Amino acid sequence: MQGKTNQQGEYESSYRDFVVAYGSWDINPLELTNPFPENSSAAVHLWIGCEDRIVDTELSYYLARRLPWIHTHEVPYGGHLYLHDKDLCGMILKSLVLGEKPSFE
């Protein structure tokens, strides 16, 4: 029974992300303003799973090119649910907290 619950949650998460990626938004993401206007070294970090088949990676890159305070990072073998991989999460956390460059091997 527990396995079905976890699987259900994954499907719900994927559906929610699908709606966010392709649904109708009340805002234009290109009109977002820098949340750190007083701190030029602060940034929003966007981790992109290169094997994601739900969220269009090109859309993420496009937004980051238009909004320079968004820094993108590629997870070469990461799919849509890469955050469920504790090793990947550990690398991302170390990158954000300690400034270590992730080693995706």
Model confidence pLDDT, tens digit, residues 3-45: 444 555 556 666 666 666 667 778 888 888 998 888 777 888 8
Region 88-98 average pLDDT: 87
Region 82-100 average pLDDT: 85
Alpha helices (runs of H) in 23-79, residue ranges in sequence order: 57-66
3-state SS, residue 89: helix
Q: At residue 99, what are phi and psi to the nearest 5 degrees?
A: 75, 15
Model pTM score? 0.66
Distance CA 83, CA 61 (A): 19
pLDDT at residue number 1 = 45
With a cut of 70, say whether residue 46 has pLDDT above it: yes
pLDDT at residue number 59 = 84
With a cut of 80, say whether residue 65 has pLDDT above it: yes
Between 104 and 99, residue with greater pLDDT? 99
